[in-house]
Structure 1
Amino acid sequence: MSQSAASAPHSPSSLFDQVRFVLNETSHPGNVGSAARAIKTMGFGRLVLAAPRAGADVLRDPEAIALASGADDVLANTLIVPDLVAALQGVSWAVALSARSREYGPPNAEPRESAAIAVQHAGQGEAVAFVFGSERTGLSNADVDRCNALVHIPANPVYSSLNLSQAVQLIAWEMRMACLAQARGDAPQVVTVATPLADAASHDALATRDDVEGMLTHLERALVELDFLDPDNPKKLMTRLRRLFAKSHLEREEVNILRGISKHILERKVRR
């Protein structure tokens, strides 16, 4: 994306509408209500629950309603989906929030950096998401692998315990500041040196998470047919490929090329 496009003014509401906050396998109804309140105070309204452990009734739980504290509209419009894949449907840029680093996975980013990049995608009309794990176990490695960046909130290392809704509040505030800066036409403060994440902000027509997941499934089948991937002993091949593509920030055309290669491999195997 060009600098002029990155700095062009946008309506704050149009940017805010592109942002969704995803709670994955959350357990406590109170955190759902508190999260709804947290994002509403920052001007956002899209809350998604992926496989909530309290079930679909969580939105009607008295504790959730009480802690929403006036954000009843956000709570009422909260979308409940069966898993994280469904929660990220249509999303171009997804950020995983985690208290711990991972050996494998997407590139690391600071909260402010991830917000600056996210708002650039929102400015292009692309959906972005911030994904938060369950209160007890956080996000699994597979969940993190579905995102473009991994963010750790740099809290006090001696006592870094953050409640889920507090983490949502911090990220919502960073996104609000980034959205308001974009709406004013200010240049987003991504980073001062080139990084894979900074490069991602300049791409046009990034592939959505759905596009990438479909391509990876297709590619995995092709690699199995080539006997390059042993499904009974896959090791870390697909995990490493996920990390590779997360760093590459594939465009839709590039995903189509990879799917075309996979299709050709599978068809040629059938003919043989």
Structure 2
Amino acid sequence: MRTRFILIQTSHAGNVGAAARAMKTMGFDELVLVAPRWANVLRREETIQRASGALDVLERARIVDTLDEALDGVTHLCATAMVPRDFGPPTRTPREHLGPLAAGDEQHVAFLFGSERFGMRNEDVYRCHVALSIPTDPAFGSLNLGAAIQVIAYEWRLALGGFGVRETTAPVLAADARAVAGMLEHWERSLVQIGFLDPEAPKKLMPRLQQLFNRAQPTPEEIHILRGIAKAMADAAGGGSYKTPSPVRDDPSP
């Protein structure tokens, strides 16, 4: 679905760059500026710096004189306004409105953002099909322009199906039951050697350790580490560097 982001009378060049970056992260690239403060805002240093690599969005962006020009071809227009208007369109959260919108048959959706200095004029809001209000803390609810665009762009991309999360690590494979059992046998011998486990009254210590490792699902590499620890305990006990305490009986309580 074609998507356009429209900024009205933007007064800070950095916000134009931030808008481009926010759009690009969510896969959108159609940006229209209505009567911005600077005619060369797309080429200003602050704009380019804040775009942080989204230069293609800036290169494609258009500057127009009127909102009428910016709305050419748009079939569904969403205002972004924190305060509802008495005679305006219905006010909804982005998630409430954008899900059904994405499932519909609209051809060209646009999101309209007002000036940083005075927001959106009532006349502009009245032209929209809906006023999107981002849920924020009532005591401090005002977002800066770049943040608002990022939230709307994210919610719209999510409604359209979103992007998959790239795997950064290989899937973790748990060690098999035989490896876990062998490691536990190794630990049991070492615990006896260091005097922590009384072999005459083992009670429930080893079953508890079995359940612990069942929950942990250690990998083969982790099993190797645990065996190394067991060996180090036994070596320390046998070599005299570990002071062996009196054998203790396992707590009989469950």
Give the ranges of 4+ consecutive aligned residues of structure 1 lying more than 3 Å apart after TM superposition.
Answer: none
TM superposition score normalised by structure 2: 0.62
Q: Structure 2 matches for 1:157-236, cutoff 5 A?
A: 157-180=138-161
1:52 to 36, 52, 60: 36
Return the offset for 1:84: 1.2
Return the offset for 1:79: 1.2
Q: Do the aligned residues in 1 keep the contact of 2:89 with 2:125 (CA within 8 Å)?
A: yes
Q: Name the amino acid aligned to 1:180.
A: G
Return the offset for 1:117: 3.5
Q: Do the aligned residues in 2 keep the contact of 1:106 with 1:147 (CA within 8 Å)?
A: yes
2:129 to 137, 148, 154: 148
- The alignment partner of 1:99 has SS state of coil
Aligned to 2:110: 129
2:5 to 21, 27, 48: 21
Q: Do the aligned residues in 2 keep the contact of 1:32 with 1:64 (CA within 8 Å)?
A: yes
- The alignment partner of 1:180 has SS state of coil
Q: Structure 2 matches for 1:96-111, cutoff 5 A?
A: 96-111=79-94
Q: Do the aligned residues in 2 keep the contact of 1:25 with 1:49 (CA within 8 Å)?
A: yes
Q: Structure 2 matches for 1:259-270, cutoff 5 A?
A: none
CA RMSD in angstroms, aligned pairs only: 1.8
- The alignment partner of 1:48 has SS state of strand
Q: Structure 2 matches for 1:80-99, cutoff 5 A?
A: 80-99=63-82
Q: Do the aligned residues in 2 keep the contact of 1:108 with 1:150 (CA within 8 Å)?
A: yes
Aligned to 2:210: none
The alpha-carbon distance between structure 1 residues 118 and 86, as it changes in their structure 2 partners (threshold 3 A), is farther
Question: What is the count of residue pairs matched by the alignment?
Answer: 164
Q: Do the aligned residues in 2 keep the contact of 1:22 with 1:87 (CA within 8 Å)?
A: yes
Q: Name the amino acid aligned to 2:84.
A: S
Q: Name the amino acid aligned to 1:34.
A: A
Cα distance in 1, alignment partners of residues 14 and 159 from structure 2: 28
Q: Which consecutive residues of structure 2, in runs of 5 or more, have no partner in the other structure?
A: 163-254
- The alignment partner of 2:142 has SS state of coil
Deviations along 1:89-142, one digit per CA (max 9) or x if unpaired, are 111110000121111111112111222243234xx4610001000001011010
1:42 aligns with 2:23: no
TM superposition score normalised by structure 1: 0.58
More helix by share: 1
Q: Which consecutive residues of structure 1, in runs of 5 or more, have no partner in the other structure?
A: 1-14, 182-272
Q: Name the amino acid aligned to 1:74.
A: V
Return the offset for 1:82: 1.1
Range 98-107 or range 22-31, more displaced: 98-107
- The alignment partner of 2:110 has SS state of strand
- The alignment partner of 1:91 has SS state of coil
Aligned to 1:65: 48
The structure with higher relative contact order (CA 8 Å, sep 6+) is: 1
Rg larger in 1 or in 2? 2
Identical pairs, percent: 49
Q: Structure 2 matches for 1:231-250, cutoff 5 A?
A: none
Q: Do the aligned residues in 1 keep the contact of 2:19 with 2:51 (CA within 8 Å)?
A: yes
